[in-house]
Amino acid sequence: MHSRPVIRLVACGSVDDGKSTLIGRLLVETDSVPHDTVAAARSVRRAGSLIPPGEIDYSLLTDGLEAEREQGITIDVAYRSMSLLDGRRLLIADAPGHEQYTRNMAVAASRADIAVMLVDATHPLRPQTFRHLTILKLMGVDQIIVALNKLDALNFDQAAFESVCRDTRPAVERLGIDRISYIPISALVGDNVTAKSDRTPWHTGPTLLEAIQGWHPLQSGSSRARMGVQIILRAENFRGLAGTVSDGSFAVGDEVVILPGLNRARIARLTAFDGEIAHAHAGKAVAMVLEPDVDATRGDVVERVDGCTTPADRFAAHVVWLSESELIHSRSYYLLNGSTMVPATVTAIRHRLNIRNGDHESARTLKINEIGVIEVATDARVALAPYGENRNSGNFILVDRVSLNTVGAGMVIHALRRATNITEHHYAVTKAVRAAQKHQRARLVWLTGLSGSGKSTLADALERRLYGLGLHSYVLDGDNLRLGLNKDLGFTKEDRAENVRRVAEVGRLMVDAGLVVIVALVSPFAIDRNHARELFEEGEFIEVWVKTPTEICAQRDPKGLYRKAKAGLLPNLTGVGQEYEPPANPELVLDGTEEIAVNVEKLVRALV
């Protein structure tokens, strides 16, 4: 027996456009709120409320957080349920309107079937209106209802209504929004919410409730069946892949493929909480027993063989940036889709989207709430499909690898062709063979510290010492590399991230050649150094912090950088105009004021 169909609705728009009041009225007028809750809304008042005593403050019915009631705004996404006349259940998400809570709105929109976007008739159209309209389209919301609210304050002026229709039309056409309707309402008084208003005789369309109830899903062209593996269940004579079916359905006997490994098998058994079943539909939590018992792990994806996703490791995607820290290309993040998590690097920012006119603007970074198109490379192949084909298999989030905060919401446009046109080649002469030929262990020493701390001096002395010991080594010096390989890079955060990435990749190749590599690079940000470490095998990467006080570095000032910074000519000097993040757990900390020979011996002991 299936539960009643659920329609997911997101209510959005700028702050104070009346979303909470509108939803509260919908709930009350459809008898979807307990009577004692309604009674409380008649007596409780916000500070400064103008609602007369005894009247219902509808907005209180959705603002669940104490902070929201005190401030009179919606911070979190408030969810409420109501029943429609045809038996379907409506799950309403009241999304916050403030720009700093755009992430909450984007999350709500990512699961919504239909959207009600409120526009305040007493104010000109705001940027947040266009931002929400863009996000709704990118998130694949089927239908958008634009509700022009507070028309009672304008005596239900038809010209004001038509002005909003006209002013939003270019954005609607540009975004390719096909299913959109406009309804004049008053959330406070109730006009055209659940009943027709005689004060808008010029409006011949439906009420808001009728428009919501008239929604039906578009026929999907995708036959993909998909389940993310959340856990491997093991018992005597039983090994099952457990997860929740996110799309389509599976049946006993179906031939399936495990992604990204592409191992094939047949479903021998389907087991649910209430016993064995023959079919599992979307939303059902099941355990699959496969024949043969192919290799699979958490984060893998099970799909039917017909129409399955082709795994890739390079994608173009829309992204809504949600963090106060800017998106930085060449920096590593975690990419999450369902139970799949893999390190990923933003390799390019193609453009930033102007939410007002749709222009593609050149951008080196994305700031909070900005929307852009990026290219992302994952460290392993993942089964992501175009978002336009499937919302579940085409969405992802980017997570900061240090704070573990969600920083971006992404929608895959397509896999990049180079993801499938490149094949790694393995040669008979390996890293171990090359190092053995030189009678040494290939390692990389990463010297990090402020400018003037002594990194290059130490690198030079260390290489001379290794040469004397008969070891094969090479120094990658930051300044030298900026004369050639990295001459196109500056000193912004994003350029420093790319600088570290390139140096690490070159260092990896040299370690693969069997050399001892010495890197002398400021590399001020811990996340970039950590990403560099991940390119190497356990024990190959030796992080060394050359710890020299800033005042000593400024006194030495071998390149004159501190003098330039003091004169205001060098705003991004690390330790002065730009922060330096010391290593948390380096393999070695050297006192930059110590004798060079003493520090070199410490380095040699760490290497041999």
Residues annotated as part of the active site: 523
Which residues have C-beta within 8 Å of that of residue 573, sequence separation ≥ 6? Answer: 451, 491, 561, 562, 564, 565
Q: Which residue is it, tokens 């578009």? A: 218
User: Could you tell me which of 511, 358, 333, 536 has the C-alpha nearest to residue 438?
Assistant: 511
- Using DSSP's 3-state secondary structure scheme, residue 532 falls into helix
Beta strands 360-361 and 312-321 are: unpaired
Classify the C-alpha dihedral 86-87-91-92 as positive or negative. Answer: positive
Q: Measured between alpha carbons, how far is residue 528 from residues 259, 345, 440, 498, 539 in Å?
A: 30, 11, 28, 9, 18
Q: Which residue is it, tokens 């690390």? A: 574
User: Could you tell me which of 334, 441, 323 has the C-alpha nearest to residue 378?
Assistant: 334
**Peptide bond before residue 206 is cis, with ω within 30 degrees of 0:** no
User: How open is the CA angle 222-223-227, to the nearest 5 degrees?
Assistant: 105
Structure tokens at 416: 């990049």
User: Could you tell me which of 227, 363, 359, 405 has the C-alpha nearest to residue 304?
Assistant: 227
Which residues have C-beta within 8 Å of that of residue 291, sequence separation ≥ 6? Answer: 265, 266, 267, 268
**Peptide bond before residue 260 is cis, with ω within 30 degrees of 0:** yes
In sequence order, what DSSP letters do the residues of 256-301 get, joined into one string?
EEEETTTEEEEEEEEEETTEEESEEETT-EEEEEEES-----TT-E
74 burial type by CB count under 10 A (0-12 exposed, 13-18 middle, 19+ buried): buried
Bridge-partner residues for 89, per DSSP? Answer: 6, 83
User: Could you tell me which of 136, 20, 37, 117 has the C-alpha nearest to residue 75?
Assistant: 20
In sequence order, what DSSP letters do the residues of 547-563 get, joined into one string?
E--HHHHHHH-TTSHHH
Which residues have C-beta within 8 Å of that of residue 555, sequence separation ≥ 6? Answer: none
What is the C-alpha to C-alpha distance for residues 56 and 437, in angstroms, rounded to an integer? 84
What is the C-alpha to C-alpha distance for residues 312 and 55, in angstroms, rounded to an integer? 58
Bridge-partner residues for 578, per DSSP? Answer: 574
HSE value, Cβ hemisphere, 13 Å, CA-based, for 433: 4
- Report the b/e string of 578-594 with b at 16+ CB within 10 A: bebeebeebebebebee
